[in-house]
Amino acid sequence: MSGAFLALVLVAAACGACAGSFLGVVVQRLPRARSLLAPPSHCDSCGTALAWYDNLPILGWLLLRGRCRYCRFPIPASCLWLELAVAALSAGVVAAVLLLPELRAGWLLVALLGSGHPVLAAWLPLLVAGSVLLLLAWLLVAVVIIDYRHLIIPDELSKGLQALAVPLAMLAGSNLIWAERLDGALAVPWDPVHWLRAADVLRGLQLAPTAAIAPLLLAVALGLAALAASLPLARYVYGHCVQERWDERDHRALVRGAWWFGGCLAAWTLLGCAALLWLPFPPARGLWDAQALFAQALLQAVLGALTGWWLPWLVAVLGSAAFRRNAMGYGDVKLFAALGAFLGPLGTLVAFLAAILVGTLVGIPARLLGAGRELPFGPALAYGTALAIAAGPWLWPWLWARCVAPWVLP
C-alpha cells in the first residue's frame, strides 16, 4: 500500500502543477471577461506564442530562469508559486482521501455497485472521491485569488458549480461527514436521515428510502418559495437602504441568480427522487442498503445547498438593512449555496461559523493596521469549507460530545 500511496500522491502533485498552470490563466483572464482558450499562452511583452516546452508546469519557469525566451521580459514569480502551491494542495487532498475513510463515505454506494469486482470496489471510491475533491479544491483556489484581487466571484465559477454541485457532492460523499449514520448511532433529532425511516406495525421504525421523497420535496418547495418571496425585500433594501444603491441591472442580476439556483436545485431534486423510485438498486444487505445510501447523500446535498444559500442570504439582506451598507456580497451567496451541497446542512453551518471566525481574525487586524481596502469574504468561505471537510472526521465527534450530546440526550 505504501508504494501505491506514494505513486498516487505524486500523480496528484503532477496533476496539481498542471492545474496550477491553467489556474494562472483563469485568474488573469476570467475577471476581465477574456477567453480562456484564445489566444493561446503568449508573452505579455512581445506577444510571441509560447512553445509547449516553455509551458511545462514548474520546469518551464525554472528552465527559462523566469524570463521570456524571446524578449527576456520577466515572467512573474507568482506563476511558479501558484503551480507549486496547487501541486502541494493536490497531493494533500489525495493523501487525505487515501488515509481517511470518512472522506469517501458516500462512495459506499459505488463500492456496493462494484462489489462484483474486488479491485473496482476498493479503488473506485478512492478515485472518484479524490477527483471530485481535487476539482473543488482547484475551483476554490481560483475563487480565493480572484476575490482577493478584484472583490468579485465570477458567475462562471459560482453558477457553474451550482449546476453540478448536487451530483458531484453525492459522488464525493464529503457531505456525509456531518451526517448521522444509517443505524442511528448518533441519534441527532434534526438529522434528515430520520426521513428515511417508516413505521412498521410489527418491527417498529425501518429503513424506507422512498419515504424521504415527500418531506424532501416539501422542504425544497418551501425553501425556494421563501426565496422568491424574499426577493422584493432584497430589492427594497438594496435600492433604498444601502449607501451604494443598486441600479436596475444589479436587481435583474440578483433575480436571475436566484432563479438559476432554484432551477438547478429543483431539477436535481426531481431527478434524484425519480432515481429513488425507479433506479434498479442492488438488494440490501443489512445496513448496506444502496438505495438508503443514495437517498441520504441526496438529502444532505440538497438540504446543504439550501442551507448554504439561506445563511449568507439572511446576513446579506438583514445586515444590509441594519448597517446601511452591503453586509455581504451576492457572489458569496451564490458560491456558498454550491459549497453547501458538499457539506450537508450541519457541515454548512460549521463552515459558515468558521468563515466568520476567520474573517474576524483577519479583518480586525487589517483594519487596525490600516490596510485601507475592502476585505473579501469569499476566501473566508473557502477556508471554512476546507476546514469543515478536512477536520470534520475529528471535529464532529468533539462537537458532539461537548456541545450537542449534553443538550439532546437525557
Q: Report d(CA 122, CA 164) in Å as an integer.
A: 25
Q: What is the mean pLDDT of the chain?
A: 84
Place of cell 469549507: 385
Q: Average of pLDDT values for 51-65? A: 81
* pLDDT at residue number 201: 47
pTM: 0.91
Nearest to 336 by CA among 270, 399, 388: 388
pLDDT digits (tens, 9 = 90+) for 215-265: 999 999 999 999 999 999 999 999 888 888 888 898 999 999 999 999 999
Reduced to 3 states (helix: H, G, I; strand: E, B; else coil), residue 78 is: helix
Average pLDDT over every residue of 376-402:
85
Distance between CA 409 and CA 404 in Å, rounded? 8
* Contacts of residue 380, Cβ cutoff 8 Å, sequence gap at least 6: 355, 356, 358, 359, 362
**Could you give the CA distance from residue 385 to residue 136 in angstroms, rounded to a whole number?**
10
Which pLDDT tens digit goes with each residue over 153-174? Answer: 999 999 999 999 999 999 888 8
239 touches 246 (CB < 8 A): yes
Strand, coil or helix: what is 115? coil
106 pLDDT more than 60: no
Q: Residue 286 — left, alpha, or beta (φ > 0 → left; ψ -120 to 50 → alpha)?
A: left
β strands within 63-127, DSSP E: none
Quote the pLDDT of residue 302. 97
- Give the dihedral sign, CA 183/344/108/389: negative
Q: Poorest-confidence range of 35-49, 63-77, 92-106, 249-263?
A: 35-49
Using an 8 Å Cβ cutoff, are 90 and 12 in contact?
yes
112-116, 143-147, 269-273: which has the minimum mean pLDDT?
A: 112-116
Distance CA 220, CA 87 (A): 38
Supply angle C-alpha 74, 38, 84, rounded to 5: 45
C-alpha cell read off for 348: 454548512
- The one-character DSSP state at 229 is H
Residue 18 has pLDDT above 90, yes or no: yes
Residue 206: which H helix or E strand, with range?
strand 204-207
Residue 282's pLDDT band, with cuts at 50, 70 and 90, is confident
Higher pLDDT, 292 or 202: 292
pLDDT value at residue 72: 76
Q: Please check the confidence at residue 25 and state whether its pLDDT lies above 80.
A: yes
Provide the CA 291 distance to its chain's centre, in angstroms. 24
Check residue 117 and give its pLDDT: 64
Higher-scoring residue by pLDDT: 287, 405: 405
Q: CA-to-CA distance for 19 and 289, rounded, in angstroms?
A: 37
Which range of 95-99, 123-127, 285-289, 300-304 scores highest in mean pLDDT? It is 300-304
Q: What percent of the chain has pLDDT over 70?
A: 86
Q: Is 42 left (phi over 0), alpha (psi -120 to 50) or beta?
A: beta
**pLDDT: which is higher, 14 or 54:** 14
> Looking at 25-39, 75-89, 266-280, which range is the least confident one?
25-39
Would you place residue 279 in the very low, low, confident or very high pLDDT band (cuts 50, 70, 90)?
confident
Helix (H) or strand (E) holding 198: strand 197-200
